[in-house]
Structure 1
């Protein structure tokens, strides 16, 4: 008699975990030997319900409610930074010597920081914060000389907005969202284990060979995941982390 082999679900990444559960559930719904058996059908229904909740939590973990706000604030911040940089460069060839000299100092300041709007969000936010601090202190005279204080003020406000939104998203992820996904995974694991026990029991008590094809399919999927785990980790396991 064939049985579904074991798989260590806790070692799967969040994405792989959901994909595995979905693959098994989808195939099970097409098996008459399962859907026609009241106990097996109920176990499959419980698995699907747990999987639906895991899907909801996984979507939230992948896209925070703050993500769109951060993207909008980042774009506005980048426009102001580009404006500040363009203003500085625009004064480099001023026919007034002290103005051109001030512009040259601020241009070198920009080169020193090498801020790229495409760089990692936290890094860009930190660099701009430091650049603004310099503009308000060390290079305040040069900024005043060029009359670009409004750019500095607006850029500072935009950068602080991005920083605040990032912090809010971090707090969100560190709390409810991650905790909900962890709990949803545990519920899916328990529902899957009960489903497997039920299928194995039905395989024993039901018609001979009725579930052999389904069991072979699930076992092949499990072997594929195990093989992938060994390949990715080099030690036979996949670290449990978000995708």
Structure 2
């Protein structure tokens, strides 16, 4: 008697989980015999799959809100004003002012911040630039009369940094909670469908349902082997001489010996530190 094999889909990551239940629904819809006999179960699975899909799409959307956009716009305006002021001071008749402007302009050039940058990257670069303004180049900034402008830039950059972190954290918690509920609903709908098909195969015989059952078992086998496969551990208990037949220390010189240090000086510490960007990978909930 053919039966759909048991498979705990709760161990799949988010993408694989959605694809599995979506494919199960698609196959059941395509099988006329199954579709007619499990209509209610298919409706429940369809609703669950649609909700899971909606939440996954939402999780990939931009988390920028109006207050973040407004703070970013204000920050960009202040930064542009600083750049324009420095360029204007380059034409100032006072020599000390011009020299200070040259130093600051070179610093701006080194950081090469563009207001079209990815939000977090711009925030990180400005964090380091502002630190340089307040410490290493405090005198030059004061000579150009930009001290208060730098303070204003720092305030809005810190505000934007805080808003972004809080919003990302809050949004992530909401998405995780919603996705857990959606996955649980999909799990239950899938289990109910499988139980119904297996019961029908026992009562009515599996001939009518064999195609669907075979398809699902093939899919389950594939996911168990691929999506849930764990890499084999290396055998760390090999005895000496086993495995690699090459003997250590055969006396041969390496074909391409490493050259000694080229004598280059280490970084002098003035190179701007880029902002750190993270790319959180997808994981199961």
Normalized against structure 2, the TM-score is what? Answer: 0.66
Residue of structure 1 aligned with 2:165, choices 156, 167, 170: 167
Distance 1:111 1:68 in 2: 30
Shift of 1:241: 1.0
Shift of 1:35: 2.6
Distance 2:25 2:170 in 1: 31
Q: What residue is the counterpart of 1:31 in the other structure? A: 31
Distance 1:242 1:131 in 2: 38
Give the gaps of 5 or more residues in structure 2. Answer: 234-280
Q: What residue is the counterpart of 1:128 in the other structure? A: 126
Q: What residue is the counterpart of 2:266 in the other structure? A: none
Distance 2:138 2:12 in 1: 53
Q: What residue is the counterpart of 1:67 in the other structure? A: 64
Q: Is the 8 A contact 2:2 2:206 kept in 1?
A: no
| Structure 1 residues 92-131: aligned runs within 5 Å | 96-110=94-108, 121-122=119-120, 124-131=122-129
Aligned length in residues: 237
Larger-Rg structure? 2
Shift of 1:197: 1.4
Distance 1:78 1:140 in 2: 21
Residue of structure 1 aligned with 2:221, choices 220, 223, 231: 223
Q: Is the 8 A contact 1:2 1:212 kept in 2?
A: yes
Q: What residue is the counterpart of 1:241 in the other structure? A: 283
Q: What residue is the counterpart of 1:20 in the other structure? A: 20
Deviates more, 1:222-231 or 1:4-13: 222-231
Q: Is the 8 A contact 1:93 1:100 kept in 2?
A: yes
Q: Is the 8 A contact 1:43 1:191 kept in 2?
A: yes
- Does the C-alpha gap of structure 1 residues 161 and 41 become closer, same or farther in structure 2, counting only changes over 3 Å? same
Q: Is the 8 A contact 1:10 1:240 kept in 2?
A: no
How large is the Cα RMSD of the aligned pairs?
A: 3.6
Q: Is the 8 A contact 1:78 1:117 kept in 2?
A: yes
Shift of 1:25: 0.9
Q: Is the 8 A contact 2:24 2:216 kept in 1?
A: yes
Shift of 1:206: 2.6
Shift of 1:59: 2.9
Distance 1:11 1:85 in 2: 53
Q: Determine helix, strand or coil for the equivalent of 1:5.
A: coil
Q: Determine helix, strand or coil for the equivalent of 1:229.
A: coil
Q: What residue is the counterpart of 1:190 in the other structure? A: 188
Please tell me whether residue 6 in structure 1 is matched to residue 6 in structure 2: yes
Deviates more, 1:205-214 or 1:17-26: 205-214
- Does the C-alpha gap of structure 1 residues 23 and 74 become closer, same or farther in structure 2, counting only changes over 3 Å? farther
Distance 1:146 1:136 in 2: 13
Q: Which has more helix, going by share of residues?
A: 1
